[in-house]
């Protein structure tokens, strides 16, 4: 697991929520008896709106499944870390989406977060930029 993969946790979380919203939106669309789609629909042709919906939902669910696997891999990595301090930093900062200042306050009792960045940098042997 890389720090870059963990940093994407919050972005994936937003993407998953957006996919859920779109799935609910697609489920909510219906065809009128004259073959026209209701406002906000995928197509204005009277072809097969149900098949279009099903295909879109399947695509969305497949993408969501990939994103959820990536999320679980991040969580598993953090859960299994032997360095509990690094695990806590990663959890607060990247999984919960806290600011560096709030993370430092929780862990160190101070908003000075540079020691946390040094700890994460040492763990991943890389520079932390955000």
| pLDDT tens column, 62-91 | 999 999 999 999 999 999 999 999 999 999
Closest by CA to 17, choosing from 71, 55, 75, is: 71
- Work out the pLDDT band at 52, boundaries 50, 70, 90: confident
User: Which comes out higher in pLDDT, residue 43 or 124?
Assistant: 124
User: Distance between CA atoms of 67 and 116, rounded to whole angstroms?
Assistant: 27
The parent domain of residue 1 ranges over 1-80
pTM for this predicted structure: 0.77
The percent of residues above 90 in pLDDT, for the chain, comes to 72
Indicate whether 74 and 100 sit together in one domain: no
Domain co-membership, 99 together with 57:
no
Q: Are residues 21 and 55 located together in one domain of the fold? A: yes
- pLDDT-derived band at 42 (thresholds 50, 70, 90) equals low
Q: What is the pLDDT of residue 93?
A: 97
* Average pLDDT in the chain: 87
Mean pLDDT of 46-65: 86
Tokens at 112, concatenated: 């000075």
**How many separate domains does the chain show?**
2
* pLDDT > 50? residue 101: yes
């Amino acid at each position: 697991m890389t720090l870059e993969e963990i940093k994407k946790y919050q972005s994936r979380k937003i993407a998953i929520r957006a996919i859920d919203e779109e799935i609910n939106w697609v489920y909510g669309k219906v065809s009128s008896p004259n073959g026209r789609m209701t406002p906000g629909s995928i197509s204005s042709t009277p072809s097969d709106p149900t098949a279009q919906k099903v295909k879109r939902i399947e695509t969305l669910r497949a993408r969501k499944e990939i994103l959820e696997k990536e999320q679980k891999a991040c969580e598993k990595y953090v859960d299994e870390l032997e360095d509990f301090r690094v695990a806590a930093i990663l959890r607060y900062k990247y999984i919960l989406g806290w600011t560096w200042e709030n993370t430092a306050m929780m862990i160190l009792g101070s908003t000075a977060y540079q020691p946390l960045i040094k700890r994460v940098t040492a763990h991943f042997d890389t520079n932390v930029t955000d």
